[in-house]
A and B are shown apart, each in its own frame.
Chain A
Amino acid sequence: SAVISQKPSRDICQRGTSLTIQCQVDSQVTMMFWYRQQPGQSLTLIATANQGSEATYESGFVIDKFPISRPNLTFSTLTVSNMSPEDSSIYLCSVGTSGSVEQFFGPGTRLTVL
């Protein structure tokens, strides 16, 4: 299985600021995804991070609010822009490979917006 790290592990931010979350994988992966888990809720897919092209966003999520980069097959970033307290969540990246149907998740980034 892939080993996935996320930075930062947690942060407390002020309203109106932006935070960039990094996801690093120890091997090349085909697919990378970003999920959000709001307090007491299950996971909701934000977008699929596509290498070399724009991310594919799910309904309710837009690029201006959650810009995503994926410069190569092992790294992706998610930015939470112009934050409000409603953005307080755990943000998780996950990966999948063409050789396996299983998906693996990073440890998550716990974001609190004051």
Chain B
Amino acid sequence: KQEVTQIPAALSVPEGENLVLNCSFTDSAIYNLQWFRQDPGKGLTSLLLIQSSQREQTSGRLNASLDKSSGRSTLYIAASQPGDSATYLCAVDRGGSARQLTFGSGTQLTVLP
């Protein structure tokens, strides 16, 4: 059974700092990995998706990497801003006809002005 772990559970940084969020998964046979952002009491916003054949994806100040063999992904946020404060979730897609996502427990990020 796939298990997804995110470290740290919470992170507080001053504005302008670069930071890295970590995600690890136990079964490397994944179809893709997706990073989401969740604001308090809200739904999920998709940030980046990395397919199993890719090693990284970039969108603006965000960069996500994937190392399937070691079962790890990182989300790098450059020049953090208070508006980046949210919970960040990673999820792995086991592929096939199922396509269900298995989520990590999330990292709650606070960027202090």
Contacts and interface: CB of A to CB of B under 8 A. Distances in A.
Interface of A: 1, 31, 33, 41-45, 48, 58, 90, 92, 94, 96, 101-108, 110
Contacts of B55: none
Interface residues of B, number: 24
A16 to B, nearest CB: 26
B43 A105 contact: yes
Given A1-B46, A48-B100, A94-B101, A42 B106 contact: yes
Contacts of A102: 34, 46, 49
A34 B43 CA distance: 13
Contacts of B101: 33, 43, 45, 94, 103
B51 A42 contact: no
Interface of B: 31-32, 34, 36, 41-46, 49, 51, 89, 91, 93, 98-106
14 contacts: A33-B100, A42-B106, A44-B103, A48-B100, A58-B100, A92-B44, A96-B99, A101-B31, A101-B32, A103-B93, A105-B36, A105-B44, A105-B45, A107-B42
Contacts, number: 53
Nearest to A108: B43
A11 to B, nearest CB: 14
Contacts of B49: 101-102
A24 to B, nearest CB: 14
A110 B32 CA distance: 28
A101 B32 CA distance: 8
Contacts of A41: 105
Contacts of B91: 43
A42 B104 contact: yes
Given A42-B89, A101-B31, A102-B46, A31 B104 contact: no
Nearest to B104: A42
Given A48-B100, A103-B93, A108 B32 contact: no
